[in-house]
Structure 1
């Protein structure tokens, strides 16, 4: 009878290897223990998890363990480097073209993924269109609607191969037709952008248009209103290099090409208000149109108009007044309006959750410009504040 002799596997690690592995593991744990903890991640543009407060209740229901695990992930030593390494491996080894809802396109382009429009988004879009059309009907001859197309709609050849993006052109056609039927003026930039797509219209690493792209839209606005455009030769042009935007923060693309942008050194002042209620606001600060301190942060685009304030008023060099209702696309557009209007009101519904009729009546705005980008407009649940007619008491 054949006998089987049990032999100890020679696949076990030798003691020296075990000691080295244990030393590395303990060493990394010690590094993590003493590694400086951060409150925010500049590159990821978000707050990082902090050490959770311990309690018996959160321990028993498992919340403390989950929060502690998140804390360890967010505060791991060399976190930015690990994320960059993961992004490079995903792209080079696995050919991954999507990361956190962003598509890595050709020639360094990054695009917001939009393959489908959900039922909820379709409903919201219907409400937003109704809000704009109803508002335009309340202010006949005074409303202009500018909806910026997505970079993916202007540069589809730069998308990853066979990316099934939604038919943005068809959606824009429908939106513009409905808004125009309400009596509002409509500015559609698609033909102009496609004819000038060799220019620097959109950032590659960010979801915004560039100030150059915004200027082309501003020129169309001036043509529509019979205004003389801002003269770029009159003021000093300052270029900001090494801009990595929101798309880069999401993908951490290993071979990302830095963007840059320019702004003009304007003397105009902007007063930012604290919003207390409908047509009820008080001044908080008066400053220039660029918050230069933000040029030293990751969110350099946030320097324009010092970000997204609920209500602010800019002193212009022209005549009359205009109220701009907007998302952040307008932030690099609005400084050009200083050449045409004496007073420029700026409303961002993220900080002003009220109807505008009282403000328009109180401040006497002559014109209203509604300026959004397509992907924000179709899903933003705050556009409906336009459809809240009110009367100043």
Structure 2
């Protein structure tokens, strides 16, 4: 009887799945090597890591390897797609309602997370309030203080369920009570809550919309006895597909872009180089909206061409006003051209001096201090407003 001989089948040293994985890994690595490298991520609003310079010292202490890992991560092929995929998984599968400090609310709303106020922020807020009060006390009857509330205060129903936000209303009440002893305080909350259907804030950005700014401006005019800028007598230009800073932080997979309108006003704006206290040198003169920026990610940055230290705008009205501000004021200021002949604009992030010498030298009649609550809460530059003059 013939004996059946069973032979052991020869096997590949690499199982097929492992070989396929190795091939994909090698292929993706080669793809990354030749993938176009970028210096800036428009959607993330940040610079991307570049290939680190190799040195023996950095290699031995491990710094080069860390820098290379960051570079590899930032320059990976299809990076934007991977981030969008991660965002979708976090939202749909894991049910996350927060990403990079931004709360993902209903109907596409995104809010800055503010669950606690640190001791350092409380100390800075105290300094800022004291500085404003001290400054305003030197200019009785000439200072208006406008602190815009956060979008979460006006649209709390859009926050994720049970989000433990700080009691901003109580903090605003206290700030307004203290500053109100020395300045005319504008509390927008009643007006905004009655008009919350008018797109007052961007959903993908931390700013108010130009429409929200206009509503605040009309209240300012009412308090000052001024006739507001007539939007119906000017042609509005619409800007679409705006994805703001909140979107850049979250890359929310199903985000819908914002849109806004602006008016192409001919009033010239001169931006100055600051050489010292009340020492300015004209750098450039342009219109109040830099239309080149409307084709970039930072479309809001088109207003006043960003946050320049000191600018002066020629208006169509009478008298003068100095606006001390954060970026919220950038879409507010153009409306003031209907009421004043001269509008000065100061942003302390690029203006390291007090204001007394500038007010005296330029002869400003009125002063408007305009910030949003969350900036005013922790901005260490606000205290410059009370710096004494050093000029003799």
**What TM-score range do you get, normalising by the shorter chain?**
over 0.9
How many residues matched? 382
Moved over 4 A (4+): none
Q: Which residue of 2 aligns with 1:351?
A: 350
Q: Which residue of 2 aligns with 1:264?
A: 263
2:217 is equivalent to residue 218 of structure 1: yes
Q: Supply the distance in 2 between the matched residues of 1:33 and 1:335 (Cα, whole angstroms).
A: 48
Q: Which residue of 2 aligns with 1:3?
A: none
Output aligned runs, 1:310-329, within 5 Å. Answer: 310-329=309-328
Q: Which residue of 2 aligns with 1:202?
A: 201
3-state SS in 2 of match to 1:381: coil
Q: Supply the distance in 2 between the matched residues of 1:357 and 1:326 (Cα, whole angstroms).
A: 16
3-state SS in 1 of match to 2:232: coil
3-state SS in 2 of match to 1:260: strand
The Cα shift of 1:18 comes to 2.4
The Cα shift of 1:64 comes to 1.2
Structure 1 portions without partners, runs of 5+: 1-11
Q: Supply the distance in 1 between the matched residues of 2:344 and 2:13 (Cα, whole angstroms).
A: 71
Q: Which residue of 2 aligns with 1:168?
A: 168
| 8 Å CA contact 1:201, 1:209 repeated in 2 | yes
The Cα shift of 1:13 comes to 9.6
Q: Which residue of 2 aligns with 1:131?
A: 131
Q: Supply the distance in 2 between the matched residues of 1:243 and 1:13 (Cα, whole angstroms).
A: 54
Q: Supply the distance in 2 between the matched residues of 1:384 and 1:179 (Cα, whole angstroms).
A: 14
The Cα shift of 1:14 comes to 5.6
The Cα shift of 1:57 comes to 1.8
Q: Supply the distance in 1 between the matched residues of 2:62 and 2:18 (Cα, whole angstroms).
A: 33
Q: Supply the distance in 2 between the matched residues of 1:392 and 1:286 (Cα, whole angstroms).
A: 27
Q: Which residue of 1 aligns with 2:48?
A: 48
Q: Which residue of 2 aligns with 1:85?
A: 85
The Cα shift of 1:60 comes to 2.0
Q: TM-score, normalised by structure 1?
A: 0.95
3-state SS in 2 of match to 1:317: coil
Q: Supply the distance in 2 between the matched residues of 1:163 and 1:13 (Cα, whole angstroms).
A: 55
Q: Supply the distance in 2 between the matched residues of 1:391 and 1:124 (Cα, whole angstroms).
A: 24
Q: Which residue of 1 aligns with 2:8?
A: none
Deviations 1:269-295 (A, max 9, x none): 101111122111211110011100101
Deviations 1:46-89 (A, max 9, x none): 11111111112222222111111111111111111100100000
Q: Which residue of 2 aligns with 1:36?
A: 36
Q: TM-score, normalised by structure 2?
A: 0.96
Q: Which residue of 2 aligns with 1:364?
A: 363
Q: Supply the distance in 2 between the matched residues of 1:228 and 1:92 (Cα, whole angstroms).
A: 50
Q: Supply the distance in 1 between the matched residues of 2:142 and 2:391 (Cα, whole angstroms).
A: 19
2:185 is equivalent to residue 186 of structure 1: yes
Structure 2 portions without partners, runs of 5+: 1-11
The Cα shift of 1:392 comes to 3.6
Q: Supply the distance in 2 between the matched residues of 1:128 and 1:316 (Cα, whole angstroms).
A: 30
Q: Supply the distance in 1 between the matched residues of 2:354 and 2:306 (Cα, whole angstroms).
A: 21
The Cα shift of 1:365 comes to 0.7
Deviations 1:143-185 (A, max 9, x none): 110000000000000000000000000000000000001x200
3-state SS in 2 of match to 1:233: helix
Specify whether residues 382 and 129 from structure 1 end up closer, same or farther in structure 2 by C-alpha distance, changes over 3 A only.
same
Q: Supply the distance in 2 between the matched residues of 1:143 and 1:61 (Cα, whole angstroms).
A: 56
Q: Which residue of 2 aligns with 1:121?
A: 121
Q: Supply the distance in 1 between the matched residues of 2:62 and 2:386 (Cα, whole angstroms).
A: 44
Q: Which residue of 2 aligns with 1:69?
A: 69
3-state SS in 2 of match to 1:350: helix
Q: Supply the distance in 2 between the matched residues of 1:211 and 1:300 (Cα, whole angstroms).
A: 12
Q: Which residue of 1 aligns with 2:306?
A: 307
Q: Supply the distance in 2 between the matched residues of 1:39 and 1:87 (Cα, whole angstroms).
A: 23
| 8 Å CA contact 1:357, 1:391 repeated in 2 | no
Deviations 1:3-40 (A, max 9, x none): xxxxxxxxx99633222211111111111111111111
Q: Which residue of 1 aligns with 2:384?
A: 385
Deviations 1:83-129 (A, max 9, x none): 01000000000000000000000011000000000000000000000
Give the CA RMSD over aligned residues.
1.3
Specify whether residues 34 and 228 from structure 1 end up closer, same or farther in structure 2 by C-alpha distance, changes over 3 A only.
same
Q: Which residue of 2 aligns with 1:140?
A: 140
Q: Supply the distance in 1 between the matched residues of 2:16 and 2:58 (Cα, whole angstroms).
A: 41
3-state SS in 2 of match to 1:369: strand
Q: Supply the distance in 2 between the matched residues of 1:58 and 1:138 (Cα, whole angstroms).
A: 56
3-state SS in 2 of match to 1:375: helix
Q: Supply the distance in 2 between the matched residues of 1:190 and 1:47 (Cα, whole angstroms).
A: 37
The Cα shift of 1:354 comes to 1.0
Output aligned runs, 1:223-242, within 5 Å. Answer: 223-242=222-241
